Amino acid sequence: MTPATRVLAGLALAFAAVATPALAQSGDPSFRLANRTAVPIAEVYVSSSGEGAWGSDHMGANVLMPGQTVVIRLPAGECVNDIKVVYATGQAQEWRQQDTCNLTDIVIQ
């Protein structure tokens, strides 16, 4: 097991969606993604739970370093989404059927 793999396994990559009352959303599925792991996030995919494909990477050429946040902008209307992150190690993590219209922050730790 590589050191990066041990870090990922040790963190158990807890995923917490936290709604901030002062920023309560109404039909806007966009959210802030915070990387609280020790590993950079290279790719972020979000697709409607009804779709069979991930679509394009929201990070593009950027990388979300540990401790950083990024706003993931999504078109209005589709609130139930699947989220996939790919770490710089190549490992991926997925969360299905997230109601992104009822949260403002997603923290990966």
Write out pLDDT tens, residues 60-74. Answer: 999 999 999 999 999
DSSP class of 88? T
Contacts of 18 by beta carbon, 8 Å cutoff, 6+ apart: 103, 104, 105, 106, 107
Q: Phi and psi at residue 87, in whole multiples of 5°?
A: -80, 165
Counting the structural domains of the chain, the total is: 1
CATH number at residue 74: 2.60.40
Q: Is beta strand 41-48 parallel, antiparallel or unpaired with respect to 31-35?
A: unpaired
Mean local confidence (pLDDT), 21-32: 69
* Under 8 Å between Cβ of 71 and 34: no
The predicted model scores a pTM of 0.78
| Residue-range definition of the domain harbouring residue 43 | 3-108
The answer to whether residue 24 scores a pLDDT higher than 70 is: no
- Both tokens assigned to 14: 């807890």
pLDDT of residue 2: 53
pLDDT for the residue 77: 83
